[in-house]
């Protein structure tokens, strides 16, 4: 069983890190919230250590199974994650993507038996949230007391950000300066946070700029 690995960070992607240990390179899944922290170590002549969870991932074929490692810099985060993935239906990859809140906040939702709060996590619908509460309530109190902490995974804002970027390009082409255009977009999104396309965002900005006759 591999419980800890130390080496030079030679590769980094959205959810994986590659550590070189001697002449061997290991790929590890890591919480996406950890990627930014690790960037400063990439290709530096420094040794980093990750606490690891070892598991077997089933492939598409029944006979195909692949050994995997998940790495954490914080042993408390790792311990909570191990408990979290013990819930039936909550696999490693789904759990890594879902933890967009600090573990202390997630643990409070569990201990307060608040499935609605847990439903804020990506991929955790009402039924799975109820299952998490039923499985873990009474087991996560110590994590609810954790001070500070960051989410293991950042909130996915890619869709919203791309809409804003597209609208910004349009406004810049219309000769608005960047500061003015950015503020117009911010106000429009504040008024209509459910906008899902750049066209509708531009229409909202246009509507807000109209003055009564």
What CA–CA distance (Å, rounded) separates 64 from 41?
A: 34
Mark which of 120, 139, 155 sits at the end of a domain. 155
Total tally of structural domains belonging to the chain = 3
Q: Which of residues 73, 88, 104 is at a domain's end?
A: 73
Q: What is the pLDDT of residue 161?
A: 62
Domain that holds residue 182: 158-209
Q: What is the mean pLDDT of residues 197-205?
A: 85
Task: Choose the final residue of a domain: 53, 73, 93.
Answer: 73
pLDDT for 211 beyond 50: no
Whether 87 and 135 have beta carbons less than 8 Å apart is answered as yes
For the cut 90, the answer to whether the pLDDT of residue 204 exceeds it is: no
Whether pTM exceeds 0.75: no
Q: Are 97 and 30 in contact (CB under 8 A)?
A: no
The 10s digit of each residue's pLDDT in 79-108 is: 999 999 999 989 999 999 899 889 999 999
pLDDT digit string (tens) for 70-81?
Answer: 999 999 999 999
**DSSP-derived pairing of the beta strands 24-29 and 4-12:** unpaired
2: which strand partners? Answer: none
Residue 162 pLDDT grade (very low, low, confident, very high; cuts 50, 70, 90): confident
pLDDT level of residue 171 (50, 70, 90 thresholds): confident
Query: 3-state DSSP call for residue 55?
Result: strand
Identify whether residues 13 and 32 lie together within a single domain. yes
Count of C-beta atoms within a 10 Å radius of residue 200: 15
């Amino acid at each position: 069983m591999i419980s800890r690995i130390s080496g030079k960070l030679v590769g980094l992607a959205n959810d994986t890190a590659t550590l070189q240990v001697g002449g061997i390179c290991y790929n590890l899944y890591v919480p996406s919230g950890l990627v930014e922290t690790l960037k400063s170590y990439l290709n530096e002549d420094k040794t980093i250590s990750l606490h690891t969870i070892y598991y077997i991932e089933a492939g598409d074929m029944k006979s195909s199974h692949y050994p995997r490692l998940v790495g954490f810099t914080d042993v408390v985060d790792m311990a909570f994650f191990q408990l979290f993935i013990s819930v039936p239906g909550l696999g490693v990859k789904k759990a890594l993507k879902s933890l967009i809140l600090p573990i202390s906040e997630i643990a409070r939702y569990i201990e307060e038996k608040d499935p609605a709060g847990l439903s804020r996590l990506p991929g955790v619908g009402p039924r799975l949230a109820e299952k998490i509460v039923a499985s873990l309530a009474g087991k996560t109190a110590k994590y609810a007391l954790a001070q500070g902490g960051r989410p293991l995974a950042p909130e996915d804002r890619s869709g919203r950000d791309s809409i804003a970027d597209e609208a910004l390009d349009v406004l810049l082409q219309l000769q608005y300066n960047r500061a003015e255009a950015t503020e117009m977009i911010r106000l429009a999104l504040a008024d209509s946070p459910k906008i899902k396309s750049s066209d509708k965002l531009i229409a909202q900005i246009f509507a807000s700029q109209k003055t009564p006759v």
